[in-house]
Amino acid sequence: MPLPLRRRLQKHVAAWPWRRVGVLAGVALALALMLVVYLFGVSDHFFGRLFSAFLVLFWLLAVTFLAVVPFVTWATAHWFGRGWAEVSTPAPRPRRAAGAAPARSHPSPAAPRRPETR
C-alpha cells in the first residue's frame, strides 16, 4: 500500500540538506538587501517603510490563514450543515463489458489514397 501524501512529503523534506538551504536563503536575502540599497539608497527612511510594509503584510497573511480560514471552514460545517461544506462528486458511470461492443476505429482521411503494397 502506498504511503499517504503527507508521509511522503515529510520523508522528502526530511532528506533536504538544510544547512545548504539556509546558506542559499541567507545569500539570497543579502543580495536582495544589497540591490535595494543600491537602487533606493538609505535616504527617505526606505528601510523603515519596507519593514513596516512587510510587518503589515505578514500580519494580514497570518490573521487570514490562522483565524479567518479556519473560522470559515468551521462556520460552513456548523451553520449550513456538513453536506453543504463537503465537495460533491458525481456518480461514476458504469463500465461496459469487455466483449459487448468493439470500439470503432476511424481510418485517417488519407487511407483510401494510399497505394496497397502486398
Q: pTM of the predicted model, to two decimals?
A: 0.36
Instruction: Show the domain range for 66.
Output: 45-85
Q: What string of DSSP letters covers the chain?
A: -PPPHHHHHHHHHHTS-HHHHHHHHHHHHHHHHHHHHHHH-SGGGHHHHHHHHHHHHHHHHHHIIIIIHHHHHHHHHHHS-HHHHSPP-PPPPPPPPTTSSPPP-PPPTTGGGSPP--
Residues 14-25: pLDDT tens digits? 887 888 888 998
In a domain, 118, yes or no: no
Residues 1 and 18 in one domain: yes
Residues 49 and 29 in one domain: no
Structural domain tally of the chain? 2
Residues 55 and 67 in one domain: yes
In a domain, 90, yes or no: no
In a domain, 10, yes or no: yes
Residues 11-50: pLDDT tens digits? 877 887 888 888 998 999 889 888 888 887 777 777 788 8
In a domain, 18, yes or no: yes
